[in-house]
Structure 1
Amino acid sequence: MSELFDAVDALIASRSPLPPPAERKRLRQAHSLTLDEVAAALQVRRATVSGWEAGKTEPRPPERDAYARMLKQLAQLYPANAAVPPEETAVPATPAVPAAPAPAAVEPAQARTAPTGSAAEPANTALRPAAPAAVPRPVVASGPASRRPAARKAAPSSAPAGGTDPRFENGPLAVLDVENGQVLAYCVGGLVLDVPAKSLPSLVGWTLKEAKLGQPKLSGPGKPADPLLVLTEAALEHYGLPVTLTQQERLAGRLPEGHKVIKQLARADWRLTKRGFGPWARIYRPAQGSERSCVQLCIPSWNALDTRHWADAGQLPPADLARLLGMYAVRVMTPRGSTAVTGLELMTALHPPTRATEPDADGKRHSEHNPGSLGKDPVDCAPCEAPDGHPVLADLPRFHQRTPAEVLMEEAYDWARPLTDAECLRPHLVGIDVNMAFAAGANGLTVGLGAPTHLKNPVFDPKLPGSWLVDLSHVDLSRVKVAKDKWVDLDAGLLPSPFTPKGERPEGPAWYATPTVAYAVELGYDVTPIEAYVRYDNGRYLDAWYNRLRDAYLATMADLGVHADMPPEEFLKAMEGYRQRDPQLAIVVSAIKATVKGGIGKLRERPRGEGWKPGQPWRALARPTWRPDIRAAVISRTRINMHRKIVKHAAFTGQYPVAILSDCAVYASDGPSPLDFLPYRDGTPLPGGFKLGVNPGLVKHEGTQSVLWGEGIREQFNAPELNLARYIKDGTVTDQDTGE
């Protein structure tokens, strides 16, 4: 009989009405569930769930029954008529004296409160009712003074509030979504604004005149950041834009010029930058004096948020995405494109190329070079600093392979060696990773600001940034100086050379950046440069950039429970599973680290999809921030920092790394923890060696595998010097990794 009852129950459930589409979406977002999570649970495609929530399709058995069960449980947790607690209720604003009416296309902004926080905070996410009318609307007159939001919900400690500048009181950005036909702008700190704009041109106008979005300038001579609008799929459809790009559009990186929305913008006298209407579009009108009229768009479904650095941020509910991107914007800067683009733009924002002069006799100010910046005009690189295909190398024969004596090759380590017999008897391979290694390499580094000066047979000056042609093949790592008048003997066969990325000893003259040559002197050896390109106009251009990114990284890690100056045991414990404490903040950490690496990489950006041919200039060369010499100096110093530590460690312990990949070093160890081979005495590390901690330049535990694992994969792929540092984190190796 029970089987009959079950069958009847299933039959009734299969015909029971589901909540309306808007309610389905509200319930999912109230529990901070993404479309992907629901789709995975129901074993359907993400687009299928999106269609159910949009009312375009209806679920069918057997998925319908499971979907109905989920919605029923969520409805019990988040009833549609739930009362909003008094402290969360929007308070009507005091009516202001009416002023002249605003244009029809740009109406006063109205404010609400919205859910904020991670999936671990469902109580907050349920506060906003299903229907907009459930939250009292602010009483708004038509005058500008009345356009202040009625109330703001107190943001969690990890969610930054808007800037103190009244022009940007609603924060740096907003995520636009559509609910019941109404466009909503989810801002930082839990604020939600009603968006009256019906078209993209009017949306741009509303953003600039009413939304009070943007970010104050980061330096005295700089400019405020333009407001950023992030468009969800629903917002794209609302404003007549495609949810995804076609294959041809993806390759072009933009919509075709004839798209109807681009024509709308042109008719309204809005312009696009040269990169067109792509995942990071900039819409502007020419500046009037010092006032800018520019809005930037970020379109996650067009792959604006690279999953390598932003994980699944593009799939988050609007309030959570606003929190995540807002955190990054407040601590780093408003995103200007990819993390790499933003890293480069941050350099310029902190050191603008020009500044205003003091008033002249007529009381007028003029523009002049800002000392300490790279200026507004690009400078030529030295021939040795130019990558292959650069116009300065146009006279080289085709297919010419430049030698170390012709090209500067400062790159990160990719080195490994076979294990010794003694190392094979140890049970573990332990990887340690340098935190923010390239940021630490940039800290305090003197780099060139202007054009190079060519010298013949110069005397080496470690304080002078540049590129030096010098023979360092005589530097013998079997005997090096580790302190003043203190020399030590080492097993040079177990150490990489500090002068080449592959760790091979140089065979003759080669080009090096200043930090590399200075390290040869530090090790106790004479150097006699043959030639050099030096920069007498120089400074510590990257210090402010480093400080900003360091502070952003440390503050976000502290929010995740990992603090500076922790004892080593506490630090290792705090790092275990720190990403799971708040997955959204963990994404911010990844984005900050990618901003460092990408920003340094952009200093030598290569041509991409521009119909370029070797010997021709490419777009990036027109930037003052196209500076391969600065990139080389940072990478040189980062590699030297790593080598200095492994030499100190070897001299004190007799232990040598078996593999190094960029900022990760692997050691054979008797135990699985870094503390099993790092020399600590009463909590104090080896001076000048590796130190556990969260600060840039200190190290964390990257991963532990067995020695048998390491020897096994090398044998499996017939690669006795396979770089184990590449796989130490999780032990996974594929044929693609090894080139098989």
Structure 2
Amino acid sequence: MRDDHNDEAELLARVDRLLAVLSQPRTPLPPPEERVRLREAAALSTAQIADTLRCHSDDVAQWEAGTQEPLAAHRAAYAHLLDGLAALPPPRPHNEPSPQHAPTTAPAEQAEQPTLFSTPLSPAQAPPSSRPPQPAIIPAGPLAVIDHTDTLIAHFTNGTRLPLNTSDLVDLLRWALDSGLSREPLSSHDKPGDPLLVLTAAASTALGLPTELDDRAALRLPATHPALVHLDQAGFKLTHRGFGPWPRAYLPPVNKQRRSVQLAITAWGALSEDGWHLPPLPPTDLAHLLGLYTERLLTPRGSTAVCGQELMTALRPPTKPVRDPSSGTWISGPNPGALHQALEPAPPEAPDAHPLAEGRPPEHAMQEEAWDWSRQPDTQETSRYPHVVGLDTNLAFLSAASSLPVALNSPPRHVMAPTFDKKTPGCWYCDLSQTDLDPRLPSPFTATGQAPAGPGWYTTPTLEYAQSLGIDVRPIEAYLRNETGRYLDPWYKRLRNAYMATMADLGVHEKIPQADYLTAMSKLAAADPAQLALLAAIKATAKGGLGKLREGPRYIASPYTRWPALNKPTWRPDIRAAVIAKARVILHGKIRKLAEQTGRYPLAVLSDCVLYPARTPSALDIVPDGPDQQGIQGLIRLGVNPGCSKVEGTQSTSWYQHQLTQGLNPARYIKNEAPGR
């Protein structure tokens, strides 16, 4: 039974001890701004001062901000240090010869290196003579993989490792804030990336975290868990998603400096679910692999879809510093070319769960989605072509995002009987049902590939393609947007470069003959599983980032109620629809031109995978060589670049027909059932 009397006595004793400290004479300190000036004049970091005074750099930052004052021995020592800094001679110019004697303070480039010990010891606990020597290893890169054997060990992306003098989560987070781990900004108005700590299962156990989460629905550690109670007592806060596989813990900013740490709990599926499918790797190899992902894209922040969305924002930050004309001070303002405000969609663009979809007839919902189409081969095709070959477009939707004009921050405006303008992003209601199209090709205007039965809502890329086919495009009404930009361009370029660099590491290079490309791709199955997992993560980041543009509700409490994603500037179903439509019409143009040149027509299409009849089980039987054996521009061609194709699988014509009799689209299964796969 709880003893309230003993608790009261202990609390009173603690208060008496605090009052005794406060009653001691208080050593005077210079104003906070002078403390900052003296430290910076000596080229010292807050971490160095914290290491000297046996405290955390957070404490020094708060002393300099004036939000907290040092007490007792810390105050006297801090005052003594500041007095000594004030007495130092002015720093020498860089071109002045150095004195004969070694300087007593570290050079500026060394001064910025953080302390490597995160658990502070009071002077009474550890006199200076008993302190362990400073390790020579300095944390490097944006992240560390934390493992545990006899102690916690940080593994860095450059292959180095460092034993950590800490045993609890609070001290580990403080070490991360002091360590200097960070990612460089990805654009002129981006901020440095938060340090990432990846906890192995052994490290999680050592830090008192459970091996798995009891709440399998929410995937969150309860707030009453001792580790989270300790975090809260230390002043750390969590985001609204709590402490799950990808938690983020942060302290209040000091001097407007962000103090946040991202964690990845591998025991809870952080790198084996949600688009991540990394094989089991030793900590050093895992750090290296995640370092490559960060170097080529960004520091992982969650699922690959979340990373895709975060990459958009980092490359096009919503705000930038602007000068207030009235006060002359710098304030936050909109960043041109970025998405900086949440917008409501046009009614046809709204997903079925959206409040704007309530009562909407099905025919008034825009259906700009990827293809799911197949057809029965005719007798001639069956007799001439005993094989079917699936050709999959590399990063088709990412490729379609390149140079695509999309709407930015202007809300949709409703217009009746507008004149179609291919330069205006919008949602157009138009009748394309009278168009005469070759039945051996899927219709470019519907997701089913069947000709439209009446008027429908289309994006600008779809109607622009219809015009290119000679169709008279006369919209009945439209929802148009005025502000336009190529928002996705830097996102496309970074993802493309990451994909191409990883493919090159796997031995698949661009600008090689199509036959050599097929040979190189045939060797991928025997490639390093870690490199293949990195490639898959990059591709999933691209796909997932586009999916986040139309993120649905996690839980449906009741129909037509809003969900949190709707409040994000990056929730833009109109941009997603434009990208998908662009990818669909690009592919239609390629298969149409291939049919015109070779007489070969597709049998089925699923999203970006096209099945063709073939004389031999080889893609070279379908695609022309071209003058340099690299295919022909504007047609389907084999190659590593986004927008080019690879072989998805090969089967017999009888297999194809059997799939049709089962009511299936053979393009969905040709990869899984291909011989030798």
Q: TM-score, normalised by structure 1?
A: 0.72
Of residues 554, 572, 577, the one that matches 1:627 is: 572
Sort the Cα spacing of 1:312 and 1:356 in 2 relative to 1 into closer, same or farther, 3 A: closer
Q: Is 1:99–1:144's contact at 8 Å kept on the other side of the alignment?
A: no
| Secondary structure in structure 2 of the residue aligned to 1:549 | helix
Q: Structure 1 vs Structure 2: percent identity of aligned residues?
A: 47
Q: Is 2:277–2:537's contact at 8 Å kept on the other side of the alignment?
A: no
Q: Is 2:514–2:625's contact at 8 Å kept on the other side of the alignment?
A: no
The answer to whether residue 242 in structure 2 is matched with residue 284 in structure 1 is no
| Secondary structure in structure 1 of the residue aligned to 2:392 | strand
CA-to-aligned-CA distance 1:427-466 (integer Å, 9 cap, x gap): 2111111111111010010000021111111000011111
**Corresponding position of 1:427:** 386
Of residues 316, 329, 349, the one that matches 1:385 is: 349
Name the aligned partner's letter for residue 201 of structure 1. V
**Corresponding position of 1:323:** 288
CA RMSD of aligned residues (A): 2.4
Of residues 179, 201, 207, the one that matches 2:149 is: 179
Name the aligned partner's letter for residue 422 of structure 1. Q
Of residues 538, 560, 567, the one that matches 1:615 is: 560
Q: Deviation of residue 615 (structure 1)?
A: 2.1
Distance of 2:421 and 2:50 partners within structure 1: 69
1:554-565 equivalences in 2 (<5 Å):
554-565=500-511
Sort the Cα spacing of 1:361 and 1:620 in 2 relative to 1 into closer, same or farther, 3 A: closer
| Secondary structure in structure 1 of the residue aligned to 2:216 | helix
**Corresponding position of 1:189:** 158
**Corresponding position of 2:419:** 459
1:505-654 equivalences in 2 (<5 Å):
505-609=451-555, 612-654=557-599
Q: Is 1:560–1:579's contact at 8 Å kept on the other side of the alignment?
A: no
Q: Is 2:512–2:630's contact at 8 Å kept on the other side of the alignment?
A: no
Distance of 1:105 and 1:285 partners within structure 2: 12
Distance of 1:361 and 1:714 partners within structure 2: 70
**Corresponding position of 1:19:** none
Q: Deviation of residue 145 (structure 1)?
A: 6.0
Q: Is 2:659–2:665's contact at 8 Å kept on the other side of the alignment?
A: no
The answer to whether residue 367 in structure 2 is matched with residue 415 in structure 1 is no
Q: Is 1:385–1:628's contact at 8 Å kept on the other side of the alignment?
A: yes
Unaligned runs of 5+ in 1: 1-95, 107-140, 150-167, 478-491, 734-740
**Corresponding position of 2:313:** 348
CA-to-aligned-CA distance 1:461-519 (integer Å, 9 cap, x gap): 01111100000112212xxxxxxxxxxxxxx1211110111101101110011101111
CA-to-aligned-CA distance 1:512-532 (integer Å, 9 cap, x gap): 111011111010110110111
**Corresponding position of 1:117:** none
Q: Work out the number of aligned pairs and report it.
A: 556
Distance of 2:154 and 2:51 partners within structure 1: 25
1:219-234 equivalences in 2 (<5 Å):
219-234=187-202
CA-to-aligned-CA distance 1:327-363 (integer Å, 9 cap, x gap): 1111011111100011011111001111001476866
Distance of 1:678 and 1:241 partners within structure 2: 55
Distance of 1:355 and 1:305 partners within structure 2: 33
Distance of 1:684 and 1:342 partners within structure 2: 33
Q: Is 2:50–2:57's contact at 8 Å kept on the other side of the alignment?
A: no
| Secondary structure in structure 2 of the residue aligned to 1:475 | coil
**Corresponding position of 1:237:** 205
The answer to whether residue 671 in structure 2 is matched with residue 724 in structure 1 is no
Distance of 2:594 and 2:316 partners within structure 1: 38
| Secondary structure in structure 2 of the residue aligned to 1:556 | helix
Sort the Cα spacing of 1:381 and 1:607 in 2 relative to 1 into closer, same or farther, 3 A: same
Name the aligned partner's letter for residue 207 of structure 2. Y
The answer to whether residue 261 in structure 2 is matched with residue 295 in structure 1 is yes
Q: Is 1:105–1:198's contact at 8 Å kept on the other side of the alignment?
A: no
Name the aligned partner's letter for residue 675 of structure 1. L
Distance of 2:49 and 2:290 partners within structure 1: 36
The answer to whether residue 445 in structure 2 is matched with residue 499 in structure 1 is yes
Q: TM-score, normalised by structure 2?
A: 0.79
Distance of 2:113 and 2:589 partners within structure 1: 62
| Secondary structure in structure 2 of the residue aligned to 1:190 | coil
Distance of 1:146 and 1:178 partners within structure 2: 25
Of residues 270, 283, 297, the one that matches 1:332 is: 297
Distance of 1:475 and 1:515 partners within structure 2: 17
Distance of 1:444 and 1:726 partners within structure 2: 30
Distance of 1:509 and 1:361 partners within structure 2: 52
Structure 1 or 2, whichever has the larger Rg, is: 2
| Secondary structure in structure 2 of the residue aligned to 1:310 | coil
CA-to-aligned-CA distance 1:535-579 (integer Å, 9 cap, x gap): 111100000000000000000100111111111111111111224
Distance of 2:624 and 2:112 partners within structure 1: 64
Q: Deviation of residue 307 (structure 1)?
A: 4.4
Distance of 2:188 and 2:218 partners within structure 1: 37
**Corresponding position of 1:439:** 398
The answer to whether residue 610 in structure 2 is matched with residue 665 in structure 1 is yes
Distance of 1:348 and 1:698 partners within structure 2: 27
**Corresponding position of 2:83:** none
Q: Is 1:612–1:618's contact at 8 Å kept on the other side of the alignment?
A: no
The answer to whether residue 274 in structure 2 is matched with residue 305 in structure 1 is no
**Corresponding position of 1:76:** none
Distance of 1:586 and 1:389 partners within structure 2: 37
Distance of 2:49 and 2:349 partners within structure 1: 64
Unaligned runs of 5+ in 2: 1-47, 59-105, 117-137
Distance of 2:544 and 2:487 partners within structure 1: 17
Distance of 1:176 and 1:99 partners within structure 2: 22
Sort the Cα spacing of 1:359 and 1:713 in 2 relative to 1 into closer, same or farther, 3 A: closer
Sort the Cα spacing of 1:660 and 1:578 in 2 relative to 1 into closer, same or farther, 3 A: same
1:143-182 equivalences in 2 (<5 Å):
147=114, 170-180=140-150, 182=151
Distance of 1:475 and 1:621 partners within structure 2: 37
Q: Is 1:309–1:587's contact at 8 Å kept on the other side of the alignment?
A: no
Q: Deviation of residue 104 (structure 1)?
A: 7.7
Q: Is 1:465–1:513's contact at 8 Å kept on the other side of the alignment?
A: yes
